[in-house]
Chain A
Amino acid sequence: MATETELKGKIRTKVVQLTGELGRKPVVVGDDDLLLEKGILDSAAVLELLVWLEVEFDLELDLDELSLDNFGSIDKMAAFLMARSGG
């Protein structure tokens, strides 16, 4: 399992890629930015991000795990993944 810092880097790269696919201007994404609330990604793009996380990290996310507390920002996602992997 990657370190939390490496995880954040991977997720950040994916977020920037998704913003580009949405046709949005390049953005600087802070690790604590709330991706939906700040309008960095739309709901469908966040869903794409979740699916990417499942594939990339070989896990299956339950619907009740899909919360702002777990996936609202890059920080929260990395923390969730670390906790999931026991790291």
Chain B
Amino acid sequence: MAFPIRTPRVNNNDDIVRLISLAASPGTFVSAGDLVAEIETDKATFAVEAEHAGYVLAYLHEVGANVAVGSVLAWMGDSQDEAIPAPDMPASRKGAAAEPTLRAALLLAEFGVAADEVTAAGDRLSVTDVEAHVALRGLVRRATPATTGPAARVARPAYVLPGVAADVQDLSVTERGMLRTVTWHRDEAVTGYVEIAYDFAAWEAYGSAFQREHKLLLNPVLSLMAYQLAALRDRNPKYNATVEGERKVLYHPVNVGFTVQGGDRLYLTVVSGAEQLTAREFVLRLLALQKAAMRGKLEAAETSGATIGFTSMARWGVVRHQPILPPFTSLMVAHAAPLNGQAALGASYDHRLLTGADVVAALNFLKEPPADEG
């Protein structure tokens, strides 16, 4: 009797994996635990082993193919001449399309895809099958009314900031792979979060020195930390960017968003063009915005256009918080209160553009104040 080896899930984010090697030829006997194939995602490589001893009858995909998690990767049997059951064969090989479920049929219509173009993992063509198919090919829902040709494939709003100068570049191969593989963040960011531990004492000392030097009433340490975001753009422009379609939008100005609690309202005030300001100018500009927020007198332009963000909940004693990523940005840094002398600096980020390592690099840069004395 033939039995399948199904494509395992390597991690929670990836519905599609890539087949990178076949370890046994059809007709070969393998023991339980023997390697039969290797698959990979952008994050990990995974060995697929035989759960039971038997003969490898057939692999259903070639090396390099993208394969839906849960679908049949290979067939094995108790003997070399076992028949391979038809239902789990790819639709194209069977010569007839698997019948779609109602929801799958609706989804096919939305993308203008025929049922026989999609490989079914089971007896029926499921929503998961269709989603895997469209993600693999980077398809988007058709425009309404439906037309044909490439123009019909773009029916999404433009996810960019109006009026903010930017360079637009195609995503790199790796970035495009991430965009297409993690299907649910194709159109909008699904944020990741990382944090590092650091010693806040250096920043406290820097803020106090700056306060004395500039004769300021208020300790500007959080404003100065936010100001340091302006320098991130030159270290990696993707910190000050967003994704639109399959392009990255690298903003020219660094418009620093900074959260301010004004009464029962939370504002994201925006210091535009922070990269052109001195630290003192930034601190005073932000102070004016904070005051305006608390008085409910912010102008619309003062709460829009953020290209990067900073927030702190330290004054409420919060030691860890995962901020919401502002629209059209890729990085929002979270400052929190120290716990037992140890502080945490975290960030939410757009995983389509930035990796965890990118963000750790940013946080390591932000955790130290500038070398000057303010």
Contacts and interface: CB of A to CB of B under 8 A. Distances in A.
A68 interface: yes
Contacts of B216: 66-67
A43 B294 contact: no
Interface string B288-332: 101100110000000000000000000111000000000000000
Contacts, number: 45
A51 B295 contact: yes
Q: Classify chain B's interface size.
A: 10 to 19
A66 B218 contact: yes
Interface in A23-67: 23, 36, 42-48, 50-51, 54-55, 61, 63, 66-67
Contact of A46 (B215, B217, B222): B217
B284 interface: yes
A43 B215 CA distance: 14
A54 B295 CA distance: 9
Contacts of A70: 217
A55 B288 contact: no
Interface residues of A, number: 22
A50 B291 contact: yes
A63 B315 contact: no
A2 interface: no
B240 to A, nearest CB: 26
A43 B219 contact: yes
Contacts of B316: 23
Contact of B295 (A36, A43, A44, A55): A55
A67 B214 CA distance: 10
A23 B220 CA distance: 22
- Listed residue (A44, A48, A66) with the most chain B CB atoms within 10 angstroms of its CB: A44
A68 B217 contact: yes
Given A22-B315, A66-B287, A46 B295 contact: no
Given A22-B315, A23-B317, A42-B315, A68 B215 contact: yes
Nearest to B207: A43
Contacts of A66: 216-218, 287
Contacts of A72: 217
Contact of B218 (A23, A46, A55): A46
A51 B294 contact: yes
Contact of A63 (B222, B288, B317): B288
Interface string A2-26: 0000000000000000000011000
Contacts of B222: 43
A67 B217 contact: yes
Contacts of B220: 43
Interface string A62-85: 010011101110000000000000
Contacts of A54: 291, 295
A72 B218 CA distance: 10
B218 A36 contact: yes
Given A23-B317, A44-B315, A63-B284, A36 B291 contact: no
A34 B358 CA distance: 42
Nearest to A54: B295
A82 B218 CA distance: 22
Interface in B226-267: 261
A50 B284 CA distance: 15
B294 A47 contact: yes
A54 B294 CA distance: 11
A72 to B, nearest CB: 7
Interface of B: 215-220, 222, 261, 284, 287-288, 290-291, 294-295, 315-317
13 contacts: A23-B316, A36-B217, A43-B219, A45-B315, A47-B218, A47-B291, A50-B291, A51-B294, A55-B295, A63-B287, A66-B218, A67-B216, A70-B217
Given A50-B291, A66-B217, A70-B217, 7 more contacts: A36-B217, A43-B222, A46-B217, A47-B218, A51-B291, A66-B218, A66-B287
